[in-house]
Chain A
């Protein structure tokens, strides 16, 4: 299930289950979104991105869904594996040229064998 931990929301799943991590973004003008995975002691690792002219994009075992009406982004991980355990961040960007990537607070995914 999903719960609020001391610092981060936490999603606990069993190996083989599908995981869905949600993100509410802040700016309706945002036109580019990225999901990053951060393992303990490492920097964020790019997973998948999506532009605002799309509502779905698929990668290897991952799918990102974008709902601009409610400013909601989700990351679906199929057949979750213990190696997927990490903190997942969504990030948004708006404007062209020199603009800033703004990160959300992150969700911790715990996968039990």
Chain B
């Protein structure tokens, strides 16, 4: 079974440019998460989707970040315009859903490493 797929794996852009990341979750997983991971730190949640609905976007900097999951499967995360402080690894994760052991286990993709110059 394929895991969570993310692209691109690496991205280098100049500040003020836009950038987009794509995620394909594990087949059948209703819940999708976007995290940001700074060097030496644990992942921090940006947004969580239940199917098409963004149910927790409280940590998403909405002035420059946006996300969508139009058909409840793939998702994109966009930054426009990017700032130097946005350099980080952006991780996508998915889980079956809620409601008990095993259903909530999050499986992570390899991440997109963003460098803003």
Contact = CB atoms under 8 A, between A and B. Distances in A.
Contacts of B107: 46
Interface in B69-108: 91, 93, 98, 101, 104-108
Interface of B: 4, 39-45, 48, 50, 55-56, 91, 93, 98, 101, 104-111
A44 B48 CA distance: 17
A45 B105 CA distance: 10
A98 B45 CA distance: 13
Contact of A105 (B42, B56, B93, B111): B42
B40 A45 contact: no
Interface in A41-56: 41-46, 49, 51
Nearest to B48: A98
Main secondary structure of the interface of B (DSSP, over half): loop
Contacts of A97: 98
B104 A43 contact: no
28 contacts: A6-B40, A7-B39, A8-B40, A34-B105, A36-B108, A41-B110, A42-B111, A43-B93, A43-B108, A43-B111, A44-B91, A45-B108, A46-B107, A49-B105, A89-B42, A89-B43, A91-B42, A97-B98, A98-B50, A98-B55, A98-B56, A98-B98, A100-B48, A101-B45, A103-B42, A103-B44, A105-B42, A106-B40
A34 B105 CA distance: 9
A23 to B, nearest CB: 10
B52 to A, nearest CB: 15
Given A43-B4, A49-B105, A51-B101, A103 B56 contact: no
Interface residues of A, number: 25
Given A46-B106, A100-B45, 19 more contacts: A6-B40, A7-B40, A42-B111, A43-B91, A43-B93, A43-B108, A43-B110, A43-B111, A44-B108, A49-B101, A49-B105, A51-B101, A91-B42, A93-B104, A100-B56, A103-B42, A103-B44, A106-B40, A106-B41
